[in-house]
Amino acid sequence: MAFPADRPRRLRRTPALRRLVAETRLHPADFILPVFVREGLTEPAPISSMPGVVQHTEVSLLEAAGEAADLGLGGIMLFGIPATRDAQGTAGLDPDGILNRSIRAVRARVGDSLPVMSDLCLDEFTDHGHCGVLDSHGEVDNDLTLGLYAQMGVVQADSGADVVAPSGMMDGQVAVIRDALDAAGHHTVPILAYSAKYASAFYGPFREAVDSQLQGDRRQYQMDAGNRTEALKEVQLDLAEGADMVMVKPASAYLDILSDVAEISDVPVSAYQVSGEYAMIEAAAGNGWVDRKAVVLEALTAIRRAGATSVLTYYAAEAARWLQEDR
């Protein structure tokens, strides 16, 4: 036989052959759509650093949720932006606050056709922008914050959240939320733990999206970008505390971490394609430097290939439509 004997190109010759042997495929159910709902808005408010993404009104939120259900997305993740904030983030604990009433409204709109997920954190609700309450030295008090997280989890579950997603990176957060949910009779509500959440510069546009009041940074509780082994420890702790799903955030710059986590996890693994990842693609595509659709789908494929069971992405609805059109 003429050299070379091995010819992998045989299976790349036609689109049909490439489709036949594809190892990683995308499906609308792989995607979770993060959405922002802001109290007091009468019209959706565009987010300048995230072209195409808006802060929703309570009405337009329901339209987005209905479309997400119709497209067969894997879920919708709600972030609430209150009209008023305080040092304790009490608006996040209010059953009638913007996030909890939006959970009820979305749940009523979609029923059981779309998992309704809720961000469980104080940062959108505090006037200092941190993910927990501050002590007398201005540092986040881990254990005092845990008590508030437990209350938040119960209120969100009472409001109809199918999944609660603690994102504050407090030590022990999964255990206290699990105990609180079970004590309140919410044994069937799963926890999606932000287990390996890095203190990343890729979050910049998100700060605009939630009108963050943060001064300084969150490096005291979010992970350092240079650490890999620590991420596995964080995941193992969350699994031991009862996490039903775990997450790596951000996604694209942390694919090695995502792969490591997928190797050790015996529960589904999510990854969050964050605001900065979205903004970079939009900026490059807006300048005509890249093929927008091709780059979006390639980036999502890379995240899935690295081991993500599901991807939180602002492209969720659009990518789902593309996949349906391409079938």
Catalytic positions, written as ranges: 197, 249
Give which of 325, 326, 315 is closest to 68, Cα–Cα.
Answer: 315
Burial 122-145, CB ≥16 within 10 A → b, else e? bbbbbebbbbbbbeeeeebbbeeb
- Distance, in Å, from the CA atom of 76 to the CA atom of 35, rounded to the nearest integer, reads 7
Alpha carbon distance 199, 225 (integer Å): 7
Q: List Cα–Cα distances, 9 to 14, 18, 259, 323, in angstroms.
A: 10, 10, 27, 25
**Mind spelling out the 3-state secondary structure of the chain?**
CCCCCCCHHHHHCCHHHHHHCCCCCCCHHHEEEEEEEECCCCCCEECCCCCCCEEECHHHHHHHHHHHHHHCCCEEEEEEECCCCECCCHHHCCCCCHHHHHHHHHHHHHCCCCCEEEEECCCCCECCCCCCCECCCCCECHHHHHHHHHHHHHHHHHHCCCEEEECCCCCCHHHHHHHHHHHCCCCCCCEEEEEEEECCHHHHHHHHHCCCCCCCCCCCCCECCCCCHHHHHHHHHHHHHCCCEEEEECCHHHHHHHHHHHHHCCCCEEEEECHHHHHHHHHHHHCCCCCHHHHHHHHHHHHHHCCCCEEEECCHHHHHHHHHHHC
